[in-house]
């Protein structure tokens, strides 16, 4: 299995266009601290890739990686489709940027698909430009990620019923947010990708315990961070993101796992966006890594 980390920032990116917080200002002053919106490319065969979450940066994220460049035909792209973990704007706005594609296949759970069709009207908007097809992301069991290529299998483990703000009144469903489980029968390797975690259900714990690589939501360092930094009146948990540190935080969940564990989806207020922050040493002592843009992972 081969994974390319295309971005590691939460909504807004780092820097965020209208933000002068220390994290964003630091990234303007030191370009190596910049992080694009969290996304992952998964290889399913020679010259075939699926992108997990279509961010507002997707065009630049593709340009950053030679593996994802088009060719040899004039409009031949190695990107075979997009898989969505949720319907949040920072994970879906990039679909509109892919409208030049001859065809666009989007794999998502039923509530996510419905939000994109009924609320964002993406079906109506994109159909005049490209051949848009939807595929169901199985919440139970697993199916081939790429039916035409190798045997990599995917499933979505329901994580929470947290809806995006634009669909706040949409029906309840436990599959609004899923953790993506990738299984490679050839090597036996399993990877788990969960950039948005409002809860840590037993099914996720079980999948994490069996995985070789676990990449999860590192939006906020601690629960008070959004209030302390003045970006929200809610806590991290209240905003739908389990914090890294503290009781009930994700670090204490990850530390005992035998898997390689990494954080992604860092908010610009997270102290981890500063490479010199002492929090990096805290995580290193627990054996947990912080993913970076351009990282290559081979679970």
Closer of 155 and 268 to Zn ion (Cβ) = 268
Closer of 19 and 115 to Zn ion (Cβ) = 19
State the nearest-atom distance from the C-beta of 271 to Zn ion, in Å: 12
Task: List interacting residues with Zn ion (CB under 5 A).
Answer: 16, 19, 21, 23-24, 268
Closer of 19 and 84 to Zn ion (Cβ) = 19
Query: Which letter, b or e, does each residue of 125-161 get, where b requires 16 or more Cβ atoms within 10 Å of its Cβ?
Result: ebeeeeebebbebebeeeeebbeebbebbbbbbbbbb
Closer of 21 and 154 to Zn ion (Cβ) = 21
State the nearest-atom distance from the C-beta of 21 to Zn ion, in Å: 3
- DSSP label of 228: H
State the nearest-atom distance from the C-beta of 17 to Zn ion, in Å: 10
* Strand 79-83, strand 103-108: pairing: parallel
State the nearest-atom distance from the C-beta of 270 to Zn ion, in Å: 10
Residue 54 to residue 136: CA distance in whole angstroms: 17
Task: State the Cα torsion 179-183-189-193 to the nearest 10°.
Answer: -20
State the nearest-atom distance from the C-beta of 225 to Zn ion, in Å: 12
Torsional sign, CA 298, 110, 115, 99 = positive
Strand segments (E) across 32-176:
39-45, 48-52, 79-83, 103-108, 131-136, 143-144, 153-160
- DSSP label of 259: S
SS3 content of the chain, % helix, strand, coil (to 5): 25, 25, 50
State the nearest-atom distance from the C-beta of 221 to Zn ion, in Å: 14
């Amino acid at each position: 299995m081969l994974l390319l980390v295309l971005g590691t920032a939460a909504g807004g990116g780092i820097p965020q266009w209208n933000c002068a917080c220390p994290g964003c200002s630091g990234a303007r002053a030191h370009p190596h601290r910049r992080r694009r919106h969290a996304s992952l490319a998964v290889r399913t065969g020679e010259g075939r890739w699926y992108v997990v979450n279509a961010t507002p940066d997707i065009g630049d994220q593709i340009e950053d990686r030679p593996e994802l460049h088009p060719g040899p035909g004039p409009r031949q792209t190695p990107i075979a489709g997009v898989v969505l973990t949720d319907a949040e704007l920072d994970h879906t706005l990039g679909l509109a940027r892919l409208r030049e594609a001859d065809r666009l296949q989007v794999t998502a759970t039923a509530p996510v698909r419905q939000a994109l069709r009924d609320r964002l009207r993406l079906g109506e908007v994109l159909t005049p430009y490209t051949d848009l097809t939807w595929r169901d992301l199985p919440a139970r069991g697993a199916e081939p990620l790429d039916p035409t290529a190798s045997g990599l299998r995917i499933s979505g483990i329901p994580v929470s019923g947290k809806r995006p703000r634009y669909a706040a009144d949409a029906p309840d469903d436990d599959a609004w947010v899923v953790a993506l489980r990738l299984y490679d029968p050839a090597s036996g390797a399993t990877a788990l990708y969960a950039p948005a975690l409002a809860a840590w259900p037993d099914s996720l714990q079980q999948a994490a315990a069996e995985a070789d690589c676990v990449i999860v939501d590192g939006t906020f360092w601690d629960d008070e961070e959004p209030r302390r930094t003045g970006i929200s009146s809610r806590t991290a948990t209240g905003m739908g993101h389990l914090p890294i540190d503290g009781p009930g935080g994700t670090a204490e969940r990850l530390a005992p796992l035998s898997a390689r564990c990494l954080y992604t989806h860092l908010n610009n207020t997270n102290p981890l966006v500063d490479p010199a922050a002492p929090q990096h040493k805290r995580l290193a002592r627990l054996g947990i890594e912080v993913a970076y843009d351009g990282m290559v992972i081979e679970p």
